[in-house]
Amino acid sequence: MSRQCEMCGKKMTAGMTNGIDFYCHEGKCFRKYMNKMYGKYRWMALDDPIDGYGGYYIHAESGVVGGFIGTGIYYTEWEDEDE
């Protein structure tokens, strides 16, 4: 399965994913994606995967107790681009 970055379209062997259908390079591409999806300063990283979805990032959401909801996004590496 070939993984392509949501932002730049380049193939990837490591980066951010939700484990299902989202792939993005760590760093600049990921920050651009999160700012585009959720808004600047409306998302943040967690030290532990306690977002309720197994991820390390949460975003602001009105009507949610605590004001934030999990994205399920985390960093990983794959053996090769076709794994």
β-sheet bridge partners, residue 17:
23, 74
Give a yes or no: residue 50 inside a domain: yes
Domain annotation covers residue 42:
yes
Domain contains 6: no
Number of domains in the chain: 1
Other beta carbons within 10 angstroms of residue 11's beta carbon come to 12
Question: Is 62 inside a domain boundary?
Answer: yes
Q: How far apart are CA 53 and CA 18, in angstroms?
A: 9
Q: Is residue 5 part of a domain?
A: no
Residue 69 vs residue 32, higher pLDDT? 32
* Residue 53 forms part of a structural domain: yes
Domain membership flag for residue 64? yes
- Tell me which residue range forms the domain holding 43: 14-77
Residue 9 inside a domain? The answer is: no
Q: Does pTM surpass 0.95?
A: no
CA atoms within 13 A on the CB side of 73: 21
pLDDT tops 60 at residue 75: yes
Q: Which residue has the higher pLDDT, 36 or 61?
A: 36
